[in-house]
Structure 1
Amino acid sequence: MADDRNAQGPTTGIVPHLTIPSRGGQAAIEFYTRAFGAEEVRRMLAEDGERLMHAWLRINGGDVLLHDEFPEYGHEPDIVPKGVIIHLQVDDADEWWNRAILAGGIPVFPLSDQFWGDRYGQLRDPFGHTWSIGSPIRKQEG
């Protein structure tokens, strides 16, 4: 893996960039670390020393950027995330699901076996973002 500690963020691909409401950016990093095993690549605070200006996380091999709200730069204050689901395709949906729920995720669509062949569910993180978790259904041996 390339040493990207000096980069501001990923240089290729499509990367979700999440706005975290109510100055919750630093708490979001902690949640994503506990819930999804996020690795922090970079964190920058704003000049006020409190708000998160920029963070770069790596989750399950993919990148996620996030920041606090900045109404003074035209961001909508007290944003309520909606209309997007961030999907995690993983090796063991039950393991990832349980870890996320224990960290504070709220079930939206219960984890269960689906007709398309995945074990799949959706949860909402404490900051309003919806995540789906899926893995191939494991066949019973015997």
Structure 2
Amino acid sequence: MTRTPPGFQQLTPYAFMRDADAFVRFLVDGLGAQLQLCHRRPDSRIANAQLQLGDSMLMVSEASADYPPMPASYYLFVDDAHAAMARALAHGAQPVMAVADMPYGDRQGGVRDAHGNLWWLSQRLVDGPYS
């Protein structure tokens, strides 16, 4: 059996970003994440930050020559897609797709954060699996 620390899933996204502090602020202010831990390098940049988003953890570090920034796409389930979209936009995200009801049972919109990441903000409208 694979062991994970409390609050972590077996698969945990790990983002390397230029200006990781700004990315962490967006996660907290724009998406509602809770900062759990933040270790800093001697130059005061983030060595490892751990942020809780709902039942999932996201880890963040300052990018470097050895670990360059790597934008990604994230699918984030939220309670209210319209409210989540408004919050993200109010904190610097740019819209990429208006909130709309999808044929697979989600109400979803998309934003791109200042670091180039796509966030699909998805409110599940039905119980059960995708079909």
Shorter chain as denominator, the TM-score bin is: 0.7 to 0.9
Give the drift of 1:70.
1.8
Equivalence for 1:15: 12
Higher alpha-carbon deviation: 9-18 or 106-115:
9-18
CA distance in 1, matches of 2:7, 2:15: 14
Give the length in aligned residue pairs.
122
Partner of 2:26, secondary structure, is: helix
Give unpaired runs (5+ residues) of structure 1.
1-6
| Structure index of larger Rg | 1
CA distance in 2, matches of 1:97, 1:62: 19
Equivalence for 2:64: 70
Q: Please give the TM-score of this superposition, normalised by the length of structure 2.
A: 0.83
In structure 2, give the amino acid aligned to 1:70: S
Equivalence for 2:77: 89
After TM superposition, the runs of 4+ consecutive aligned structure 1 residues lying more than 2 A away are 9-12
Match of 1:46 among 29, 41, 52: 41
CA distance in 2, matches of 1:60, 1:32: 12
Equivalence for 1:101: 89
Give the drift of 1:43.
0.5
Give the drift of 1:136.
3.0
Equivalence for 1:34: 29
CA distance in 1, matches of 2:7, 2:53: 13
CA distance in 2, matches of 1:123, 1:27: 16
Identity %: 24
CA distance in 2, matches of 1:10, 1:58: 8
Match of 2:54 among 52, 60, 85: 60
Give the drift of 1:117.
2.0
Deviations 1:104-135 (A, max 9, x none): 11111221111222111111111111111111
Give the drift of 1:10.
5.6
Equivalence for 1:3: none
With over 3 angstroms needed to count, the CA separation of the structure-2 counterparts of 1:85 and 1:47, relative to structure 1, is same
Give unpaired runs (5+ residues) of structure 2.
127-131
In structure 2, give the amino acid aligned to 1:89: F
In structure 2, give the amino acid aligned to 1:17: Y
